């Protein structure tokens, strides 16, 4: 019965896709019987630097036509650079001209806008205009007794200034290693930090890829080293630290102050001076900088989102391009970083993904809410995530399997997550079908995706969620993030004999630049979830 239901629903999506793309007789501003008055809204969309215009393509045209037909809402998209989302949104707010619907991954940015009085309170809409969205988001598994739509609810006032997207797959980062290099050296996939270190040394000393010992890069990452080395560094944190201390000591989304973290950085300093880490990592600004090196065949290990090398088509996928340049190359996830208890502990995300908000500059907040609710309806959400049967996907045992699409219906981001902003990932009626549909949405062996997700979630836990309103971080966050990035890079690259001085001085400066104030507020406001 469930299989029939989803087949019928997907069939409805296809029917809607063709009907919604037909020319419409109504025009902007025309009153329509039984419909609210026409209004227009502007909606943020990430510009990821690809070849497809994110504000003008078949998908945006479909959204505009369908939202106009269903809700009498005119939609215009506003591109925001993914790599500079925070400064871009700050600039829009400063100019008084932000989109009606904005989203970001930065809680500090949302809190800053809230504290300046720049956001609408969305609590009046959660049980009125957002009923479908509320149902889709479901319960908040981190805060028993609450709904996910209420994640940002102020305990004292009841106000809600953001609504989280629902993250279907919560795996964070994976470490990807050249298995063909390991095989050539007779080494297994590393399962401990020491085995991983030995593999890096072997890559450096024996050059199994025959790329030249002066060219081989055992371990390459981008300049946001605190993220790319996260699984390794966080494995050094005392596994017995309480959730309270973990939450209080995590400042600006960085774990620098937690016990043990410094020793992880010290180990990276050792690896760097042994030639195991790409010496140019501070110069690699974007993922593409490292991915191009991986594709060329000179990198032994790199880090990315849990399935990063398998995204895209044969013309831009990291694994496919690597195999074009190096036939027989294998790039697989590994899980080597063990904590003091010998467990490959790591962080994962929790179900709250992006933070969606409506700036006070918006003249149509209710239309913005109606649009979000419209997105959450299955027929709209699933069409945007899947596309048209026979063009974007085929059904395999009732489960959609993605097809290679490089024409006008090519997606700007995986499963159009930048347009389906209320959902990061495809949700079907059971976890098993959801997992298989996710695996079938990539142009690789589905088992690679299943394995990547399993490894990213093995021994993983999300950061503690504490339902309190924080205000101290706003004026300090950007400076702390910039100083933190420099501190990690300098501590990894400095002479080993200077490591303690560089790290300790940097941490003192970090504390005096606002981290101490933030920690004091977190300590004062902490309550058990």
H or E stretch covering 502: helix 499-510
29 torsion bin: left (phi>0), alpha (psi -120 to 50), beta (else): left
78 with 201, same domain?
no
Does 12 fall in a domain?
Answer: no
Same domain, 70 and 209: no
Is 442 a member of any domain? no
Q: Measuring CA to CA, which residue among 414, 417, 359 is closest to residue 392?
A: 414
Same domain, 324 and 341: yes
Does any domain span residue 116?
yes
So what's the pLDDT on residue 29? 54
Domain count, the chain: 2
Q: 74 and 211, same structural domain?
A: no
Are the C-beta atoms of residues 178 and 189 closer than 8 Å to each other? no
- Choose one of 406, 427, 448: the last residue of a domain: 427
Q: Please give the pLDDT value at position 209.
A: 97
CATH number of domain containing 321: 3.40.190.10
Are 98 and 164 members of one domain? yes
357 and 377 part of one domain: yes
End of a domain among 427, 449, 474?
427
The pLDDT assigned to 24 comes to 44
Q: Are residues 411 and 339 in the same domain?
A: no
Domain residues for the domain of 117 are: 33-170+350-427
Q: Which two tokens stand for residue 53?
A: 């215009």
Is 253 domain-assigned? yes
In a domain? residue 438: no
Same domain for 204 and 133 = no
Residue 446 lies in a domain: no
Clarify whether residues 283 and 393 are in a common domain.
Answer: no
For the chain (529 residues), the mean pLDDT of every run of 10, in chain order, is 44 46 46 86 92 93 98 98 90 97 93 95 97 98 94 94 97 98 98 99 98 96 93 97 96 95 99 98 92 98 96 87 98 98 96 96 98 98 95 93 87 90 93 93 93 98 92 89 94 98 98 98 92
Q: Please report the pLDDT score of residue 475 as a whole number.
A: 87
The dihedral built from the CA positions of residue 383, 389, 394 and 395, taken in this order, carries a sign that is positive
Nearest to 384 by CA among 406, 417, 428: 417
Residue 113 lies in a domain: yes
The DSSP code sequence of 313-375 is: -TTT-HHHHHHHHSTT--EEEE-----TTS---EEE--SEEEEEE-BTT-S-HHHHHHHHHHH
One domain, residues 39 and 62: yes
* Residue that finishes a domain, picked among 402, 427, 452: 427
Q: Note whether 225 and 286 are same-domain residues.
A: yes
**Strand, coil or helix: what is 401?**
strand
Residues 163 and 187 in one domain: no
Gap between the Cα atoms of 286 and 289, Å rounded: 5
Question: Does residue 22 fall inside a structural domain?
Answer: no
């Amino acid at each position: 019965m469930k299989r029939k239901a989803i087949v019928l629903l997907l069939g409805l999506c296809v029917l809607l896709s063709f009907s919604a793309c037909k020319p419409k007789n109504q025009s902007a501003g025309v009153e329509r019987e039984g419909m609210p008055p026409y209004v227009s809204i502007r909606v943020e969309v990430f510009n990821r630097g690809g070849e497809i215009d994110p504000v003008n393509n078949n998908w945006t045209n479909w959204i505009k036509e369908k939202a106009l037909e269903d809700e009498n809402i005119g939609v215009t998209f506003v591109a925001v650079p993914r790599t500079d989302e925070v400064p871009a949104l700050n600039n829009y707010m400063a100019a008084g001209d932000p989109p009606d619907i904005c989203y970001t991954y930065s809680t500090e940015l949302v809190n800053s806008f809230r504290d300046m009085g720049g956001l609408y309170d969305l609590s009046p809409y959660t049980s009125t205009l957002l009923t479908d969205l509320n149902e889709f988001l479901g319960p908040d598994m981190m805060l028993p007794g609450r709904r996910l739509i209420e994640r940002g609810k102020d305990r004292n006032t009841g106000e809600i200034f953001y609504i989280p997207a629902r993250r279907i797959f919560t795996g964070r980062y994976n470490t990807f290693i050249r298995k063909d290099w390991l095989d050539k050296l007779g080494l297994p996939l590393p399962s401990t930090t020491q085995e991983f270190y030995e593999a890096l040394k072997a890559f450096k000393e024996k050059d199994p890829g025959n790329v030249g010992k002066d060219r081989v890069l055992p371990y390459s990452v981008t300049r946001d080293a605190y993220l790319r080395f996260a699984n390794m560094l966080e494995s050094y944190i005392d596994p017995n630290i309480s959730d309270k201390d973990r939450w209080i000591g995590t400042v600006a989304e960085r774990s620098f102050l937690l016990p043990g973290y410094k020793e992880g950085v010290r180990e990276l300093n050792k690896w760097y001076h042994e030639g195991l880490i790409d010496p140019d990592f501070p110069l690699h600004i974007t993922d593409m900088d490292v991915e191009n090196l991986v594709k060329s065949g000179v990198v032994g290990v790199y880090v990315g989102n849990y399935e990063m090398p398998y995204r895209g088509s044969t013309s831009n996928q990291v694994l496919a391009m690597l195999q074009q340049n190096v036939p027989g190359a294998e790039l697989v996830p590994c899980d080597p970083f063990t904590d003091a208890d010998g467990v490959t502990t790591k962080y994962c995300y929790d179900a709250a993904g992006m933070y969606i908000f409506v700036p006070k500059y918006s003249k149509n907040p209710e239309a913005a809410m109606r649009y979000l609710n419209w997105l959450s309806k299955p027929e709209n959400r699933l069409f945007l995530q899947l596309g048209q049967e026979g063009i974007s996907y085929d059904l395999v045992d009732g489960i959609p399997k993605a097809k290679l699409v490089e024409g006008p219906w090519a997606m700007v981001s995986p499963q159009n997550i930048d347009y389906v902003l209320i959902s990061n990932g495809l949700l079907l009626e059971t976890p098993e079908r959801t997992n298989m549909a996710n695996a079938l949405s990539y142009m690789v062996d589905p088992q690679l995706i299943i394995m990547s997700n399993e490894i990213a979630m093995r021994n993983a836990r999300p950061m503690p969620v504490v339902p309190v309103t924080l205000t101290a971080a706003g004026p300090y966050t950007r400076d702390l993030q910039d100083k933190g990035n420099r501190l990690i890079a300098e501590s990894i690259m400095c002479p080993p004999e200077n490591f303690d001085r560089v790290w300790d001085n940097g941490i003192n400066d970090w504390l005096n630049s606002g981290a101490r104030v933030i920690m004091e507020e977190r300590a004062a406001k902490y309550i058990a979830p």
